[in-house]
Amino acid sequence: MIILELKPTRRAKQLLNFVDFEVLESCATILVNNFHKIDTSKKLSLKLDISTYPSKEQPWNHYKWKQNVICFHSYKECNPKYKLRRFMDGFIHEFRHWAQDRLLKVSFFKNYSGDGMEYYRCPIEKDTRTYTKLVLNPTLKLYKNLLEVKHKTNEFSKLDIKFN
């Protein structure tokens, strides 16, 4: 089993304050263990950061290949109703790129030469888009259910229950 540890930077925690990173870490651990079966226990980490590029220059999230970092843009302008869904869509997409790099050992540079629209058609990007479409809704449900369980268990732990 793989245990995945997400390491959001202080800035990511601040700007992505609508995300519960503990719950997201649980979701990511479930995702990684569903598509990558291994016999031994393994602990991996993934850094989550905020992009330093102005959003007009690079208006998308990105995974820094071979650096183990996913960079997000601030979701300030995003409609609050869709903010979590847009974040989760970007997270799953970049998470798949991380898995391609770290677990599946796919070479980015063998699959993409650097020409604009060619990236959209390259095999790793097609795989990532398909994966995102397949798991976005179930992962959002899982995230919301785990968040509810976390809140309920926190409420329960505040009860003053006495045992004989």
For 64-92, the pLDDT digits (tens) are 877 889 988 877 777 888 889 999 999 99
46 secondary structure, DSSP code: E
The pLDDT confidence band at residue 102, using thresholds 50, 70 and 90, is confident
For the four alpha carbons of 16, 54, 120 and 105, in that order, the dihedral sign comes to: negative
Global pTM? Answer: 0.85
Torsion (CA) 133, 135, 139, 142 in degrees, nearest 10: 140
